[in-house]
Chains A and B, each alone.
Chain A
């Protein structure tokens, strides 16, 4: 059973106690009116839905639009509802509102929105012993006013959903994760963000950004609420959807689950025993904030010491190309998906511009006005990489990289990927620093353990000054799992400052990545690890 409406242990409780303060966050684009009927329709949990997921409402006279935070769809009311929303309604969800996002899901800070940027207030001073080391610990009253100065990024693109959960306005929130858009805001906002295996949750009714990567994800304060809807009674994992061709059929689900634990029979607390965790060497990058690196190492040590897990270094050599590949593939698909927004069916048509046909470029003016800058940037990028002269050099190469990324993962995981034939690997491709377990190769692992993002939530003011390429850097740890379609989850990881330096304290995200369709174990392990992390931080 899900606990509802009770904010626990997170800083937002302190600063967001009033409605007015919540409005500051700008995390909802539209809200459902409070139910007025007496007695109110019973529900089991509240649900916030990212505004690129179609909703309709039979109960309210004026259903909420589905805007995707784009001027094009400002007044768009979907005639149908996304499968996932219907599924959750059937499981007792009450919709509370549609959350803010980067336009069409393109962004890492939820700032590229027609509804205005999402912002989260800075954390309150941590426990008193650390106050003096916190460089910008704001006066708690100060945080309440309208000053944007101290506000932090909520992460993106599902920033609104992450905040809706963090403030306690929703027990569960839906986001979409294309390259980290659920996990990154979860990490920045101190909540749990889970991206299921690609094809587990229906995308029907989810306005596509990059179809081959888009995954509906879940955000909640704890892992348990997510486990409940995904694996509990009537667990979503078993439900296919004939309206989404990329959603696995019932037969495929059964086949994938055959080699996995945790489907049908719930996993207990002993799940952590004897597990092997891989630490990807390539994730220890220069840009990684020292505090996060320390917390990561501490988490690994805790798993080893307290749970008897094996922690081994692994190599994912293609990681360094993954981000580049992602920023070729995703914009390419985006440029195609967004071609339908041409000012004829959606948005305002620019009738003042000269005749389109004259210059041979159709609809340019309407599209120029209707899209935000980041979307335009990615459409141009995608249009270029798909053009006949650039295709081979960009799109095709990126697809090859994508295949290599998947191969990397298949090599380090002990379980096979049920979607692909078992591959053999050449040991000479391996990084020399990887120790061999035996003559067959290095040790294989159950899960990968790494940070979700290289930094803590940055200041919104800094984000606004960033170039777009700087912003893309935030996705470096989340993109590989997206390219491979693997399940991944970000759980809150306390980052403590070390005395005397300028490290910020707060909550970062610890990411666990599993083999395809190993979601049941991933969630169980994440549940156990986050409990342990919480215990460790309170013990300090």
Chain B
């Protein structure tokens, strides 16, 4: 019954997975611009010499962020490196990804998730809910079970609880009740936990998981629905801190804090889907503000029930004996533990053995579950209705009000980000998950400021390329600034060390092609470092004369003429395509020539897209006809 401290949980949840699951894991080595911003322009812009990789965003059409990109490292090499990195990381994941099923066997998983509600007070006392406060500072008589003290239900705790239930598509019950669950442990002063065993406050919910949520892709198809049996409210226990010499310190600030327990039906068939489910629950709960600021700060814990049966037994409808794995504290742990337990059970059955119904444990990084206690060691919880507490009656008006005021749920928001702004589903998801939901808020702040600067209305039908640009910068360019997302100093209302207004200023110039991408990135770094004061972006561009004065069409054409000199062999490729002797347009060759143009020309005055456009036109109109004529 030992528990993992919240601080520990927090580490796993925050650093373990959020950033890896997004596109960020495939990022190339981080750029660390060494140049302070006040250096003379000439020194500061060694475009051709810095082998900096750019353009890691996933969805920018080549012409969208029309600003020049420096393809000094040949683009092909970049792409190759990227692919290699993807493959390398993919292979690691592949181990699990390939391990979703075992031929001849079917896996069944049910999950129980505990999450701490976001409330001001405890569930049954007016003591303040706190986190990492001075130990034992917020403790009421009832919290430590003083003889003669009684529970006082705090109705405000229902607000986040009902929100959570609605986000999980549950039917909120008009009447629910509290029961006592008995077991002895030092972290539980009353000798019982008050929970909702017989009459939970919410039932019959469901969550739809899409491919983008990370479900087992081939096996579950594009979409799978997981039923939720019930959601119940219950008390948290005290926090134990182990001290040297078999001494334990107890902090009763946590005792009695309100939790919800979410219990699924045994409808999950694949380990990845189980992990996706937990991740989705976390996202939903944080989206409706039901759980403590930062579930990653320790508000989440999952127990999984695992059973297997032979494929030929599926028709009988009977499930195999299940075991429960307790206290899984990260998404990866959920997936890994299920795979390990499934394989253990199959091995037992294939050896002619019998799976015991028992409780098992899992340590992070291990490869097998371990037995905690068997059936004979099970505690009979002796559930009993709490005789001090009346029924909880939740009116339809409350449910209606909370449903109406809940805002956009993550799935709808992702759909909007993808459909309206053209983000990839993966980027949309990352944007929403980062900084505990603050990053997306930051994105909206930047977008608003950007649209104001560009004089754009909030018209859904209009061109949304600026929004995609903003999203890419909020996600990727911002992410390159620091090792840890927390170093950005992102606040819940969406501001950070790079004020949204300043990023919008940079992006507005970039969008209008008034500066190059390289300059824009330098500016971002300057703002982050504090070298550029808030609101000083445009002044800095003026002062350092960083404006982008693009070559004229004629100058581009002259450059093009210059670089095709002596490249007849390359031009021949284009001719073969034109004459129908090659299937694909030789884009690679084209980019090779563009790269050559960039090297020969004055790079800071060039936009590769313009160079490409002019080169292509001259190929058609001048070089190829000339070649044919030869």
Contact = CB atoms under 8 A, between A and B. Distances in A.
B151 A387 contact: no
B150 interface: yes
Interface stretch (B90-98, B220-228, B384-392, B577-585): B384-392
A243 B153 CA distance: 10
A210 interface: yes
Contacts of B186: 344
A273 B373 CA distance: 69
Contact of B388 (A78, A246, A332): A246
A98 to B, nearest CB: 14
A201 interface: no
B382 interface: yes
Contacts, number: 94
Interface in B179-236: 180, 182, 184-186, 189-192
A472 interface: no
B451 to A, nearest CB: 52
B148 interface: yes
Contacts of B146: 78-80
Contacts of A210: 387
B383 A386 contact: yes
Nearest to B144: A345
A206 B153 contact: no
A203 interface: yes
A66 interface: yes
B145 interface: yes
B457 interface: no
Interface string B121-145: 0000000000000000000010011
B490 to A, nearest CB: 42
A340 B189 contact: yes
Contact of A336 (B152, B153, B180, B389): B180
A360 interface: yes
Contacts of A391: 382-383
Nearest to B389: A245
A373 B57 CA distance: 74
B147 A333 contact: no
Contacts of A30: none
A360 B141 contact: no
Nearest to B180: A336
A22 B486 CA distance: 73
A154 B205 CA distance: 58
Contacts of A362: 184-185
B147 A78 contact: yes
Contacts of B151: 245
Interface residues of B, number: 30
B487 interface: no
A207 B387 contact: no
A336 B182 contact: yes
A364 to B, nearest CB: 9
Given A245-B388, A245-B390, A383 B382 contact: yes
Given A245-B388, A333-B387, A339-B192, A54 B184 contact: no
B184 A82 contact: no
B312 interface: no
Contacts of A327: none
A345 B186 CA distance: 9
A307 to B, nearest CB: 39
B104 interface: no
Contacts of B191: 336, 338-340, 342
A207 B148 contact: yes
Contacts of A244: 150
A212 interface: yes
Interface of B: 141, 144-153, 180, 182, 184-186, 189-192, 373, 377, 380, 382-384, 387-390
Interface of A: 53-54, 66, 68, 73, 76, 78-80, 82, 203-208, 210-212, 242-246, 332-333, 335-336, 338-340, 342, 344-345, 360, 362-363, 383, 386-388, 391, 395
18 contacts: A66-B148, A78-B148, A79-B146, A80-B141, A80-B148, A80-B149, A203-B148, A203-B150, A211-B387, A211-B388, A246-B390, A336-B182, A336-B382, A339-B184, A340-B191, A363-B184, A386-B382, A391-B382
A-B residue pairs, 6 tightest by C-beta? A339-B191, A386-B382, A212-B387, A211-B387, A362-B184, A205-B148
